[in-house]
Structure 1
């Protein structure tokens, strides 16, 4: 056996990387728009044989109707249930019952008498059982898994809804076929069964005292905007009265090509798949979009304080109004946060915890698409330290930032760490996909992402001090929570007969058509030792 020295191995790794990267740039993103307005991001990376794909919808929880919060999140769940061709053995017969169910849910939402509501829910259950006789449960998931797909998931935030999963690169045509189809003529089937899942999510959220505390904080921070006045999961009352009609209206309004994006990163060949994307996604309809949410928040009047008893220990949160995503000060504000608290525990606020002056404290920025906030949390010592004392300790460290009381070496080290973290995130397709999703949601460009390290590096200490004084002033909100156990308004799961579909092993017409699409050739890059490996001394 030939001996290969560690130095030669290092050279082999370097040479292999250069060869692999020579034909394309993994940081290059092909961005273009179809005639119907769909935005497409294609990022080629053959260091993997997988592809990470996503479809993104601008809107999120902030676009929920005020009288039907949680609709965007409900809809996200139902878009896994199939279409008029997928997830059903006979849509024409199923539709009769589904239409009746929609009418009954509207009737339920208009009824307050509990006896009548129980009767309506019982009729919905009867109709759901009949409709379930035609449904094929989980067919979307099985189709994606059948082609080697994984990470099948979706999420709804305040600003965006995203559907995503990984799949082998040679299955690109099938994946494009499934994802282009799932958003055309979706059918809201098995809805009553899905209520239990949504109810469980809401109940878990209400069980989390700190999440409830932050929801209370946001309600007082964003006094006008949906960011604070409604939640993505929705209110208990609205979840008890879901409206399929309003859900359909949300879909018709926001699930249009000119409000959506397709993101693909990994083992793809952009020029080869562009015709496929045009063929399969170019038929999506465009639509007239609502205008921006034109809501501004007034400045706080000095120190606005809220007192609550919501947590098992004393906890405080305070926040300052800052800027939305994409603002020219966004990068500097993020740098301010890292100077105050970071993963290495070297920040100015971190020092309070390291020196045991406080039990815990930190900072985090919320760069929403419409508005911004910079928040600080603090946990006083369990004994002989008040929330006000802990708050003042944190404010004291913020004052040090505002006065430039930190040395240049530390300042430069923090910037280098932030750049390293950014580059590490860009090294894998997962990091690039979620960055592209965020880029679309917040209407940024890929150039903004690529140029971010340079922009950060150019920020001076004086600029940080200027930004800190500009935003971290005397007007802020603070919430003090002492020990308490607030009452929870739990959502009881419906006590009706379970809807058990009978067609778990059946396949829809769409699934049979999908079988006709041939698999592509899997691109495997084997190492040719006589060609790719070079030996030498370093």
Structure 2
């Protein structure tokens, strides 16, 4: 997750203003962000913006797929789904009557899961349990109120209600009219205090279908899943956010509940409120609704360290689709200096129609129909600089690959011109300022850096550090990381997959 996404159309006149605006913006932001930490570890970041009578609320939990073990990969994403299902008062017509039925469903589902894992499982017993579980789930539907969180927010003027899970964190977000802050606090504290993991077994099937649709039958999904799984050999960034199919099939309701109760608590949570809010009143209200929630357990750090790569890794994926190519280079993450440099390298090489790779491969040589670069799959731990391209028929992935290497060698050998470097710095700054104009963008940035960097103030010095990067820094960083011994290459070629 990177927030300095570059727009290809910055205004030239705006560039001249940025040298003055950005430092002023940083000073203003530092003064305007109001922080508060509650006794249970919950962190609150507030930025009053009274111009429009709305506010955006982000709840970010510093829990993502990187924190999973081999026993429950896919858990964080599964919980994102489950926490939309409601609470003891939301999403049910009668929880007192629903609860015994939920207990029966879990008992039968647990027996079925255990039986399926046995090599000598009796197929008739499996079929009988499947039939019993289906009957209980059908009976349970009388108590289920679908999408009630979304309905409540929509009826009170809410927009943008959503959630997402990444490798580093999980976030729930919504924008509401300014007079609905207490509604939000009541709903979200209830979700944290009293979640009910209803429809677990049917939702597990939904997640497996999601994996089938976005990865197993999707050429781009296959390409990147293979890229991450081979670029990383030890670190859990290698694992897909959804989990592997066998992981999803074997997630249990007991594991899910345990993971939720341990980590989805205030000690791992950051809330950002940006918009028309009264900070003292907001602090008092959040204390009233969230203050009595037990802290939970801090998410343990990931101790797995990816060893230095000792040579190129290559993988070929066969799939009935047009050829594609992706390559990854290991790189450090924040707050290392090279991470700042890579934000500029990313712009120079592969962002927009004026980038070097687009001009060379797409416009001049016409070897590719598309080429792009990005930094992935996370930011909490050392990550990857990725280049992806689609060859233009009849050109091959090998031709595109050779052309990419020529541009990488050029970057490491020849200084970037002062004009090109200045243009990249200005575009980076322009895009960030544009992103932070919205309440949503600022709330997302605050919770992201507070969770991943440990302090949202990381962003305050960002522009000053980037402005000091020179052509020599770019050359040295490219030479240090963008070489054959540090790369993983995956090609997707047309062919039939083996069963």
After superposition, the Cα gap between the structure-2 partners of 1:459 and 1:294, relative to the gap in structure 1 and judged at 3 Å, is same
Alpha-carbon separation, structure 2, partners of 1:299 and 1:164 = 38
Alpha-carbon separation, structure 1, partners of 2:392 and 2:161 = 43
Q: Is the 8 A contact 1:323 1:371 kept in 2?
A: yes
- Alignment gaps of 5+ in structure 2: 1-23
Deviation, structure 1 residue 348: 4.8
Identify the residue that residue 375 of structure 1 maps to in structure 2.
386
Alpha-carbon separation, structure 2, partners of 1:265 and 1:65 = 35
Alpha-carbon separation, structure 2, partners of 1:371 and 1:108 = 40
Deviation, structure 1 residue 148: 1.4
Alpha-carbon separation, structure 1, partners of 2:483 and 2:246 = 38
The alignment status of 1:179 with 2:188, answered yes or no, reads yes
Larger Rg: 1
Q: Is the 8 A contact 2:416 2:474 kept in 1?
A: no
Q: CA RMSD in A?
A: 2.3
Identify the residue that residue 32 of structure 1 maps to in structure 2.
36
Identify the residue that residue 6 of structure 2 maps to in structure 1.
none
Q: What TM-score comes out, normalization by structure 2 length? A: 0.87
Q: What TM-score comes out, normalization by structure 1 length? A: 0.81
Q: How many residues align?
A: 464
Write the deviation string for residues 311-335 of structure 1: whole angstroms up to 9, x where unpaired: 5222221111101243332111111
Normalized per residue, which structure has more helix? 2
Identify the residue that residue 511 of structure 1 maps to in structure 2.
none
Which of residues 135, 143, 148 is equivalent to 1:139? 148
1:232 alignment partner, SS class: coil
After superposition, the Cα gap between the structure-2 partners of 1:390 and 1:87, relative to the gap in structure 1 and judged at 3 Å, is closer
Q: Is the 8 A contact 2:47 2:275 kept in 1?
A: yes
Identify the residue that residue 442 of structure 1 maps to in structure 2.
452
The alignment status of 1:208 with 2:212, answered yes or no, reads no
Alpha-carbon separation, structure 2, partners of 1:357 and 1:91 = 62
Identify the residue that residue 41 of structure 1 maps to in structure 2.
45
Alpha-carbon separation, structure 2, partners of 1:474 and 1:397 = 13
Q: Is the 8 A contact 1:213 1:310 kept in 2?
A: no
After superposition, the Cα gap between the structure-2 partners of 1:186 and 1:401, relative to the gap in structure 1 and judged at 3 Å, is same
2:411 alignment partner, SS class: helix
Identify the residue that residue 416 of structure 1 maps to in structure 2.
426
Identify the residue that residue 264 of structure 2 maps to in structure 1.
255
Alpha-carbon separation, structure 2, partners of 1:224 and 1:277 = 40
The alignment status of 1:266 with 2:252, answered yes or no, reads no
Which of residues 255, 275, 279 is equivalent to 2:284? 275
After superposition, the Cα gap between the structure-2 partners of 1:303 and 1:235, relative to the gap in structure 1 and judged at 3 Å, is closer
After superposition, the Cα gap between the structure-2 partners of 1:25 and 1:301, relative to the gap in structure 1 and judged at 3 Å, is closer
Q: Is the 8 A contact 1:365 1:374 kept in 2?
A: yes
Identify the residue that residue 12 of structure 2 maps to in structure 1.
none
The alignment status of 1:463 with 2:463, answered yes or no, reads no
Write the deviation string for residues 24-74 of structure 1: whole angstroms up to 9, x where unpaired: 956732223111111111121123221111211112122334233322222
Alpha-carbon separation, structure 1, partners of 2:67 and 2:131 = 31
After superposition, the Cα gap between the structure-2 partners of 1:174 and 1:290, relative to the gap in structure 1 and judged at 3 Å, is closer
Deviation, structure 1 residue 170: 1.0
Identify the residue that residue 21 of structure 2 maps to in structure 1.
none
Q: Is the 8 A contact 1:88 1:136 kept in 2?
A: yes
Deviation, structure 1 residue 284: 1.5
Which of residues 322, 342, 355 is equivalent to 1:346? 355
Identify the residue that residue 127 of structure 2 maps to in structure 1.
118
Deviation, structure 1 residue 132: 3.1
After superposition, the Cα gap between the structure-2 partners of 1:422 and 1:444, relative to the gap in structure 1 and judged at 3 Å, is farther
Deviation, structure 1 residue 117: 2.4
After superposition, the Cα gap between the structure-2 partners of 1:137 and 1:406, relative to the gap in structure 1 and judged at 3 Å, is closer
